[in-house]
Homo-oligomer: A and B are copies of this chain.
């Protein structure tokens, strides 16, 4: 009977899960809202979802992706800013593994999404690529020489907090000048609200009926496409900032591809064009020798769970050999 691998992606809003066979085919999936009732409730929900997915299927490994800092080697959560409760030291991998009766591995969700894109998405066939996932915040992951780059303690790939300004705006991380404070979904929405409040975008005012809560990066991109000057300038600036960030990744890692995920990847051609233009202006000399292409992610919301399942497969196969 074929082996199966479960992937669980714990998000701030939803827990998503899937089970795949050893060839990587998704056999079943499911999701549930993330409980606000604390760590035990969330753990119980993740276990219930994994159990439901694995009924009548032999599970050879479980991968768990979590939105924050984790200790991969110990399988312990360190810090999840967007999930209720104090997670410090929670042995999430062991708890899930014991409940299902299979080995389990814990990893950061952006690294899981990177591993997912590497195996099933826009990174497939590329030994060197970088993922930049621009959602509410910014996550990332690095594949170098065909392997997920982890660093000395498993925390490599923290793209979102790369400084792009020596004295830039404060970031929720307690630092400043971070990419996340300058060009995340959160930052872009805030810029959009400020723009609308200043009367600088009739298009945004019309599209939202004046409700600032309705402003999102996707909406700003749509309004920009109607020719609204203010929204267009916001998107141009976002593309510039993303280009500056991606340029830094290119210089440091020389990836063949940069995979842009999260909501902003849906902003379409004008954003990617502006990223490309910025890259050529700033580091054209380098890109002549070390060309890159910036492409949208291929897996969407499923990247994290897919990557977590693929990671479990990878780890289980390594352990067996």
A contacts, CB < 8 Å to B:
69, 71, 78-79, 126-128, 142, 144-145, 147, 149-159, 161-166, 173-177, 182, 240-241, 244, 247-249, 251-256, 281-286, 289-291
Contacts and interface: CB of A to CB of B under 8 A. Distances in A.
20 contacts: A78-B289, A79-B289, A144-B144, A145-B147, A145-B150, A151-B254, A152-B254, A156-B253, A157-B252, A158-B252, A159-B251, A163-B244, A163-B247, A163-B282, A164-B164, A166-B244, A173-B286, A175-B281, A175-B282, A249-B252
A163 B179 CA distance: 12
Contacts of A182: 166
A158 B251 CA distance: 5
B253 A151 contact: yes
B254 A290 contact: no
Contact of A155 (B127, B154, B241, B254): B254
A206 B128 CA distance: 52
A68 B71 CA distance: 39
Contacts of A176: 282
A165 B162 contact: no
Contacts of A165: 164-166
A152 B252 contact: no
Given A150-B254, A249-B252, A289 B164 contact: no
B152 A128 contact: yes
A159 B163 CA distance: 14
What are the 10 A-B residue pairs with the smallest beta carbon separation, nearest first?
A151-B254, A158-B251, A152-B256, A156-B254, A128-B152, A155-B290, A175-B282, A155-B254, A153-B290, A162-B248
A248 B175 CA distance: 12
Contacts of A156: 144, 252-254
Contacts of A253: 149, 151, 156, 252
Nearest to A154: B254
Contacts of A254: 150-158
A221 to B, nearest CB: 21
With a 10 A CB-CB cut-off, give which of A71, A166, A176 has the most chain B CB atoms.
A166
Nearest to A291: B153
A291 B152 CA distance: 9
A123 to B, nearest CB: 12
With a 10 A CB-CB cut-off, give which of A71, A126, A144, A157 has the most chain B CB atoms.
A144
Contacts of A69: 286, 289
A280 B1 CA distance: 52
A285 B252 contact: no
Nearest to A163: B244
Given A145-B147, A164-B165, 15 more contacts: A144-B156, A149-B253, A152-B255, A152-B256, A155-B254, A155-B289, A155-B290, A158-B254, A158-B286, A162-B251, A163-B244, A163-B282, A164-B164, A166-B240, A173-B285
Contacts of A127: 152
